[in-house]
Amino acid sequence: MRVVRVAVVGGSGYIGGELLRLLLGHREVDVAAATSTRLAGRRVDSAHPNLRGRTDLTFVAPADLGEYDAVFLATPHTATMGRIRDYLAAAKIVVDLSADFRLHDPESYRRYYGRPHTELGLLGRFVPGLPELHRDRLRTADRVSVPGCMATAAVLALHPLVADDLVAGEIRVDARAGSSGSGAAVGPENTHAERSGALRVFAPLHHRHEAEIGERLGRPVLMTATGVEAVRGVQVLCWTRLADGVDARAIRAAYRRHYAAEPFVRVVAEHRGPHRLPDPKILSGSNFCDVGFVVDEAERTVLAVGALDNLVKGGAGNAVQCLNLRLGLPEDTGLEFPGLHPN
Amino acid sequence: MRVVRVAVVGGSGYIGGELLRLLLGHREVDVAAATSTRLAGRRVDSAHPNLRGRTDLTFVAPADLGEYDAVFLATPHTATMGRIRDYLAAAKIVVDLSADFRLHDPESYRRYYGRPHTELGLLGRFVPGLPELHRDRLRTADRVSVPGCMATAAVLALHPLVADDLVAGEIRVDARAGSSGSGAAVGPENTHAERSGALRVFAPLHHRHEAEIGERLGRPVLMTATGVEAVRGVQVLCWTRLADGVDARAIRAAYRRHYAAEPFVRVVAEHRGPHRLPDPKILSGSNFCDVGFVVDEAERTVLAVGALDNLVKGGAGNAVQCLNLRLGLPEDTGLEFPGLHPN
Amino acid sequence: MRVVRVAVVGGSGYIGGELLRLLLGHREVDVAAATSTRLAGRRVDSAHPNLRGRTDLTFVAPADLGEYDAVFLATPHTATMGRIRDYLAAAKIVVDLSADFRLHDPESYRRYYGRPHTELGLLGRFVPGLPELHRDRLRTADRVSVPGCMATAAVLALHPLVADDLVAGEIRVDARAGSSGSGAAVGPENTHAERSGALRVFAPLHHRHEAEIGERLGRPVLMTATGVEAVRGVQVLCWTRLADGVDARAIRAAYRRHYAAEPFVRVVAEHRGPHRLPDPKILSGSNFCDVGFVVDEAERTVLAVGALDNLVKGGAGNAVQCLNLRLGLPEDTGLEFPGLHPN
Amino acid sequence: MRVVRVAVVGGSGYIGGELLRLLLGHREVDVAAATSTRLAGRRVDSAHPNLRGRTDLTFVAPADLGEYDAVFLATPHTATMGRIRDYLAAAKIVVDLSADFRLHDPESYRRYYGRPHTELGLLGRFVPGLPELHRDRLRTADRVSVPGCMATAAVLALHPLVADDLVAGEIRVDARAGSSGSGAAVGPENTHAERSGALRVFAPLHHRHEAEIGERLGRPVLMTATGVEAVRGVQVLCWTRLADGVDARAIRAAYRRHYAAEPFVRVVAEHRGPHRLPDPKILSGSNFCDVGFVVDEAERTVLAVGALDNLVKGGAGNAVQCLNLRLGLPEDTGLEFPGLHPN
């Protein structure tokens, strides 16, 4: 197979950098361009020092975007839709990592992102970039919209429960997130002195990812989000109730059945030990989403837990997995790194 | 008033050390003894290096405990009850910081601590060491049982809601805790390399503090606990539903009414900013418990948040506050430190 | 004694906040005003959430500065000198925490701060705010210039060695500093994601504090500085060589002699254990500077170590200690907090 | 080429786990066995949860060691030499990661490791596992002794200066190390509460790695080591003086010349920015050793800086690089991961 020429639009941010790390190490891909408005003309490794020795690329201005086999959009929410026609013209395959084409309901977009969507004709035309739920469609999808990091963790943690009708009633999602989820943005709340060691409940009721989770699962959820001391990592705790007649054995069976063949979802639900349930601590850099659960039959309650690296399975890694699917490559091509322990 | 002679039993652990820090700086108190089985004969500041220059005390063996005006028990759960007769003989005022006399229901003790209680006659004879709920009784109490750190945070966060019948239905408590809550215990799961940066769901459904919270509030709760990256600090997020007819204004009024006169409970419920809700990051060393809330009237839901330093308001500071009450001193004597920002 | 009315100029930064924390808890002081250009009209506790419940002050604009018994200047380097005449008019006692009056040599100021000094007549008219070296002068000093945080640590660590002529040859100072030393400044290098866990050699050869250290000790030093993972805290390692005939016993005796009576310098030089040498981990919030040393007689070398909280003994606490001296108060008034362990 | 069968002796520790991570991802290697005395019979991923989904291996007892093409020894210092005959019998190629065969001088071993060496006949028969200095010998070496983590960082940082006679006089090495360097050992000084945020000068003068550095460079050094807040990572700062006639240009040329062709040494010596000098923050999981330098011609001084991940280039990764060399494979086989930013 010939090498695939790709470009990363918005290559200087954290998601852009992670895409570059993964794509530069991908044996079937040639990174032909990375754009940055701010850093055009400067070396890619000036923004991403981990790539020193791995590339001599320099950033180009967005206006200099050429034609490629695929482009990845690591551009800001609400800005992507304004340029989407250009991006669609630049490549047959477009993988969008912004939020602009995640929601299919324009009213929902307006509510959660604070402005009307300007490309209504394209809404719903991007396949959700979640191989575990949409693998078949992704094999032929030219337009992919990768979900948000917390949404991916929550959807994968809850999917077996909801898809198999094992739970009933309200679903509460308690998300904890590292600081890189804010991107490389600079602000007084985001300095090391202010953010270090914080337990900052930044979205006490209603985080915008709850709309995505609701659309993907077909069930509303209530979501709270707290910033915790970490650079990378998302963990979600999801509480809900067992449906009538459901027991712990059925829950376990559902997780096994849904995920036994998944290359990047591991079921972690042990009875003891520090690693009995998913923890993002050991997932930095890897494309795994670990999911687990605990059932209390007497209380008729279940806790589902999901964890991932927000920049990898929660963003760039998931995007590369989608590209692999689309290209007919093994899904884990370029995504072999398993994470570190200890870390 | 004459100086009060006190002893700290179990002075080498973290709660013991914090008691010593506070009591050595307390102008009405003379620390007459600190016991330690393991460190008898060694200087107190060899275990607590922050006290260098503040004391020349050496630890004595528990068998050398004399008579005092008050003793504080910073002894392990399940071991305290076996020695309680000795302690009651050593001082008129006994403030227990272990779990052994927190629960009044012996069956509950057996279930959560794994063994039968051996001093049934004393169960229920200790006044809960929570000034905000039991101030009047504490003014004359000779036996005080200080609640667990997460229990104190959850009870104070939820108390206005429950006492005023503002909420209905299930209460879920999601607790996050720093590593010092495990005490100075040494184990493979507790090393820096293993614990650093972890999001460890160590009590996924049912933490033992839920029994205490239930007894204090008169309402059952379901509790989950996660170890987070911090040495000190507890934060609880508590979800429940608004009772019929209750709105956000009523919730706010209840918190103000219950806590306006409290010296160590601050209502933190702002609309924006990194400090809009309680965060233990700024509470290390202080005796404050910050509580806050967010109401969604449309969803009929309320999130209550509590935060404290587990070794201070969650233990030693709360114990000193109880002693102050018992002695008729200003409640904040020796507890003036407000915490640091940034930290 | 009547209460002393003080103002803090530049009250919204980290040093300003720490001054406010200490002065609000100081029983002989009344905090009459805190200025902030940016936050004039807003509550002091909006910038310093640890002071909630401790003050209802609001910031005033610098132009509204009145007259006080003492003013503390927590204003930026190079900006202070331009306003110094106003400040000197506002109070008899002026304690400057900026760098503008630390150096007595104008050429040195120009080299390290990048511009000529504009108040040459006042240079050298401020007494260095280091009680351990200048106690007698500080008892009557109306103008005090508090040294930089790393300078204080290094001068106190080295002073017994240099003052008693115990060492010879070059002195190398290796400083490690937490992120709060950069102040509340916002910048792309200072975000949590970038700064967390860093070992950033930001001043590889020649940090500006080396000029201060040289002036105070009367000996040049070579200084390197690294940002480490901490919010508060400075540690300096200082290597030099034993002078002829000097042995370890003489070194130990010198430290004891110089610091035995000091309220805020502790000699920490044990033979084993995790706390054998000074570590800022246990000093957050306290006014201690711990100093220690290790001697290798065979190699004729000595390592001196100093540690402190950069915002307290490295700034605000040291300033309050100077005020106490000037007012004839016990030096530790308002500075009683000993620091936390663990932390 | 046929796949190489390897075994890891001491597979349950941190170095053992890192060897397993790298070797399981190495396309030319088959991991045939991992031994552990403590965990024999248990799954490898019970000790190394990052390897879930990557291996179904279980640990075997050391006594069950069979025959392999290569064995890696991740066994404790002073214990390795007692079993070395067994290990040499188990495979033609033996790569030792303990300290037992690093030093060639038995007297030095006795001094730094506290006991006499018991295999004097084998001392000096292991080739130092440092490809940058000993590549040719390693191509045919059946016995390799991988250097200590801090030694590797210091030797690589200093090698161009010493090999080209560019510096003169004493060399001081200031090492900073994360907690994983202590291995998975459990002790009261090593708990999260005690170790978190510490700046612990655990080897104030004379760390045992100074003997290795001295042997490799042919020049004595004086070494200090401090534990810093990190799980992984070593950074060394090395101060020395320029030899007569040497200027900054000569220094830069030497680094370029020595390392231009090295796959895992990057010269990082920029003039500004947060990444101007080597920082282990961006090296976790990678096999890079970044080296840099700053020269002050006026002071005739040079600072050399080195950084690496102590478990990778400071241990397991270096060992795999040596195996690749010995097998005639590209040196970076299985070592492609570049590290993360941010992290």
- On whether both D303 and D158 belong to a single domain, the answer is yes
* Minimum distance, in Å, between the CA of residue C222 and any CA atom of chain D: 9
Instruction: State the average pLDDT over residues D134-150.
Output: 98
Interchain contact, D187 vs B186, CB within 8 Å: yes
- On whether both A55 and A162 belong to a single domain, the answer is no
Interchain contact, A285 vs D285, CB within 8 Å: yes
Closest residue to C343, CB basis, from B232, B283, B338: B232
pLDDT in tens, D83-107: 999 999 999 999 999 999 999 999 9
Interchain contact, A339 vs D25, CB within 8 Å: no
Q: Domain count of chain A?
A: 2
Closest residue to A50, CB basis, from D50, D52, D340: D340
Question: Would residue C97 count as lying in a domain?
Answer: yes
Of the residues B149, B238, B289, B322, only one is catalytic, namely: B149
Which residues of chain D does C300 touch, with a Cβ-Cβ cutoff of 8 Å? none
- On whether both B94 and B196 belong to a single domain, the answer is no
Interchain contact, C196 vs A14, CB within 8 Å: no
User: Token digits for C251?
Assistant: 């070194």
- On whether both D69 and D216 belong to a single domain, the answer is no
Find out whether A287 and A318 touch, Cβ atoms under 8 Å: yes
- On whether both C302 and C226 belong to a single domain, the answer is yes
The closest alpha carbon to B235, from B313, B295, B299, belongs to B313
In C146-211 the beta strands, taken as DSSP E runs, fall at 167-177, 200-203
Question: Would residue B139 count as lying in a domain?
Answer: no
pLDDT at C340 (0 to 100):
98
- On whether both A208 and A294 belong to a single domain, the answer is yes
> With an 8 Å Cβ cutoff, is A182 touching chain B?
no
pLDDT at A172 (0 to 100):
95
C75 CA to centre of own chain: 14
In chain A the beta strands, taken as DSSP E runs, fall at 4-9, 29-34, 68-73, 91-96, 127-128, 143-145, 167-177, 200-203, 222-227, 234-242, 265-267, 289-296, 301-308
pLDDT at A182 (0 to 100):
81
pLDDT at B186 (0 to 100):
80
pLDDT at A267 (0 to 100):
98
Range(s) of the domain holding residue D118: 4-125
- On whether both A184 and A116 belong to a single domain, the answer is no
The residues near A167 (Cβ < 8 Å, ≥ 6 apart) are A161, A240, A241, A242, A243, A246, A302
- On whether both C171 and C281 belong to a single domain, the answer is yes
> Which residue numbers in chain C have pLDDT < 70?
1
Question: Which subunits count as partners of chain D given 3+ CB pairs below 8 Å?
Answer: A, B, C
Domain finish residue from B108, B125, B142: B125
User: Token digits for C241?
Assistant: 């060589």
Question: Would residue D319 count as lying in a domain?
Answer: no
Question: Would residue B321 count as lying in a domain?
Answer: no
pTM: 0.97
- Give the pLDDT band (50/70/90) at residue B64: very high
Instruction: Say which CATH number the domain at C55 has.
Output: 3.40.50.720
> With an 8 Å Cβ cutoff, is D327 touching chain C?
no
> Which of B186, B189, B192 is the best mutation test for D, with the most CBs of D within 10 A?
B192
Give percent of chain B above pLDDT 90: 93
pLDDT higher than threshold 70 for residue B70 = yes
pLDDT at D182 (0 to 100):
81
> With an 8 Å Cβ cutoff, is B218 touching chain A?
no
- Give the pLDDT band (50/70/90) at residue D147: very high
pLDDT higher than threshold 80 for residue D338 = yes
- Give the pLDDT band (50/70/90) at residue A185: confident
Give percent of chain B above pLDDT 70: 100
Question: Would residue D112 count as lying in a domain?
Answer: yes
- CA distances to A39, A98, D297 from C92, in Å: 52, 59, 47
- On whether both B281 and B231 belong to a single domain, the answer is yes
pLDDT higher than threshold 60 for residue D121 = yes
Which residues of chain A does C195 touch, with a Cβ-Cβ cutoff of 8 Å? 191-192
- On whether both D161 and D110 belong to a single domain, the answer is no
Instruction: State the average pLDDT over residues D247-264.
Output: 98
Question: Would residue B337 count as lying in a domain?
Answer: no
**Mean pLDDT, all residues of chain A:** 96
Q: What is the ipTM of this complex?
A: 0.96
Instruction: Say which CATH number the domain at B166 has.
Output: 3.30.360.10
- On whether both C101 and C175 belong to a single domain, the answer is no
* Minimum distance, in Å, between the CA of residue D315 and any CA atom of chain A: 14
The DSSP string of A132-162 is: HHHHHHHTT-SEEEPPPHHHHHHHHHHHHHH
Which residues of chain A does C193 touch, with a Cβ-Cβ cutoff of 8 Å? 14, 178-180, 182, 184, 231
**Annotation marks residue B289 as catalytic:** no
- On whether both C73 and C156 belong to a single domain, the answer is no
Domain finish residue from A73, A108, A125: A125
Question: Would residue B224 count as lying in a domain?
Answer: yes
pLDDT at B156 (0 to 100):
98
Whether a cis peptide bond, with omega within 30° of 0, leads into B330 is no
Which residues of chain D does C303 touch, with a Cβ-Cβ cutoff of 8 Å? 204-205, 224
Which residue intervals of chain B are DSSP H helices?
14-24, 44-47, 80-90, 106-113, 131-138, 149-163, 192-195, 209-217, 248-259, 317-327
Give percent of chain D above pLDDT 90: 93
pLDDT at A1 (0 to 100):
52
pLDDT higher than threshold 90 for residue A275 = yes
pLDDT in tens, B196-230: 999 999 999 878 888 899 999 999 999 999 999 99
Interchain contact, C273 vs D204, CB within 8 Å: no
Q: Find the Cα–Cα–Cα–Cα dihedral D179, D182, D187, D190, rounded to 10°.
A: -10
Question: Would residue A313 count as lying in a domain?
Answer: no
> With an 8 Å Cβ cutoff, is D276 touching chain A?
no
pLDDT in tens, D36-55: 999 999 999 999 999 999 99
Q: Catalytic positions of C, please?
A: 149
Rg, C-alpha atoms of chain D: 20
> With an 8 Å Cβ cutoff, is B192 touching chain D?
yes
pLDDT at C82 (0 to 100):
95
B332, burial (CB in 10 Å: exposed 0-12, middle 13-18, buried 19+)? middle
pLDDT in tens, D177-221: 999 998 777 888 999 999 999 999 999 987 888 889 999 999 999
Domain finish residue from C64, C90, C125: C125
pLDDT in tens, B245-288: 999 999 999 999 999 999 999 999 999 999 999 999 999 999 99
pLDDT in tens, B147-196: 999 999 999 999 999 999 999 999 999 999 999 998 777 888 999 999 99
Is pLDDT larger for residue A112 or for residue A165? A165
* Minimum distance, in Å, between the CA of residue D336 and any CA atom of chain B: 24
pLDDT at D1 (0 to 100):
52
pLDDT at C249 (0 to 100):
98
Question: Which subunits count as partners of chain B given 3+ CB pairs below 8 Å?
Answer: A, C, D
